[in-house]
Amino acid sequence: MSSTNRSLIALIIGILGPFSAFALQNVTADLFGSENYGTVAAFGDFNSDKQTDIFIIRGESELVIFLADLNIPYFKPKVNITKDSLPRDSIITSVVPGDYDGDSQMDVLLTTSTKEGVDTTVFIFWGKNQTLELSGRLQLNKTFIDQPLIMDFNGDMIPDIFGVLKDGSTEVCLLKNRHVEWLKALGPPVKMRIPHSNAFIDLNMDFTAALSHCHRLPTQVDRDPQRRWRDPVSHGVCT
């Protein structure tokens, strides 16, 4: 994430001209008007109007949802998660919109950490009638050592949260009907790379996600963060 508080959002589109030459046009002002600052974190149709909305992080600890509009500026800041809705010193490290409780309304998952901390805490703000229930946020009662992976683990069409806990075990959090349920994910503890490169894909065509993960082989450079990337990596697939 950008360290500057006022990083400009510059959206530039390329238009194929009549002579097949590229012309670039700066549409930032048309899209955002004077609200054109912050870091674009995610896209999604928050208010179910079939228009993509934009999720923007401001000042590291606030989220503003810009809803698509028919008039200039085409994105207007309408829904905010301010500093006050999060514990003090939280820094938003990721935003993943999705319907986590299965009520057909888009919710917003935030991951946060503190400046010194390495733990990743997960918050979910529930969507309700085109806005967010700011008072009823859910904080997961376990923290991860890296960014979680959002995937449909149990094949119920509702996104679940997969991650590695401090003790090296991998767990999945299911949230259907806002009921928190933790399940053990992979059998033996594995040492995942940080940052992870986990992904999911339906490899055996059974219409459920297969998890593909990279973990580190134990070596003498294990604890040296500078050399993490050069560690030998083995790949695993779990279905």
Ligand X SMILES: *[C@@H]1O[C@H](CO)[C@@H](O)[C@H](O)[C@H]1NC(C)=O
Q: x/- site string to ligand X, residues 105 to 124, per CB under 6 A?
A: --------------------
Shortest Å distance, C-beta 74 to ligand X:
14
Single residue of 139, 141, 219, 234 touching ligand X by CB under 6 A: 141
Q: Does 80 bind ligand X (CB under 6 A)?
A: yes
Question: Does residue 63 contact residue 71 with C-beta atoms inside 8 Å?
Answer: no
- Please confirm whether the linkage preceding 73 is cis (ω < 30° from 0): yes
Write out the E strands in the chain.
Answer: 12-16, 22-26, 39-44, 53-58, 62-68, 75-81, 91-98, 107-113, 121-128, 131-139, 149-151, 160-164, 170-174, 181-184, 199-201, 210-216, 233-238
Q: Does 52 bind ligand X (CB under 6 A)?
A: no
Closer residue to ligand X, CB minimum distance, 183 or 237: 183
Interface with ligand X in residues 184-213 (CB under 6 A)? none
Q: Does 234 bind ligand X (CB under 6 A)?
A: no
Q: Does 10 bind ligand X (CB under 6 A)?
A: yes
Under 8 Å CB-to-CB from 143, ≥6 apart: which residues? 119, 120, 121, 122, 165, 166
Shortest Å distance, C-beta 173 to ligand X:
9
Residues in binding contact with ligand X, number by CB under 6 A = 14
Closer residue to ligand X, CB minimum distance, 8 or 199: 8
Closer residue to ligand X, CB minimum distance, 180 or 221: 180
Shortest Å distance, C-beta 104 to ligand X:
14
Closer residue to ligand X, CB minimum distance, 140 or 192: 140
Shortest Å distance, C-beta 149 to ligand X:
20
DSSP letter (8 states) at residue 155: S
Half-sphere exposure of 92 (CA within 13 A, CB side): 31
The phi-psi region of residue 178 (left if phi > 0; otherwise alpha if psi is between -120 and 50; otherwise beta) is left
Strands lying side by side in the sheet with 53-58:
39-44, 53-58, 62-68, 75-81
Q: Does 64 bind ligand X (CB under 6 A)?
A: yes
Closer residue to ligand X, CB minimum distance, 129 or 226: 129
Q: x/- site string to ligand X, residues 16 to 35, per CB under 6 A?
A: ----------x-xx-----x
Distance of CA 123 to the CA centre of its chain: 11
Q: Which amino acid is at 4?
A: T
List the structure tokens of 46. Answer: 């928050």
Binding residues for ligand X, per CB under 6 A? 8, 10, 26, 28-29, 35-36, 64, 77, 80, 129, 141-142, 180
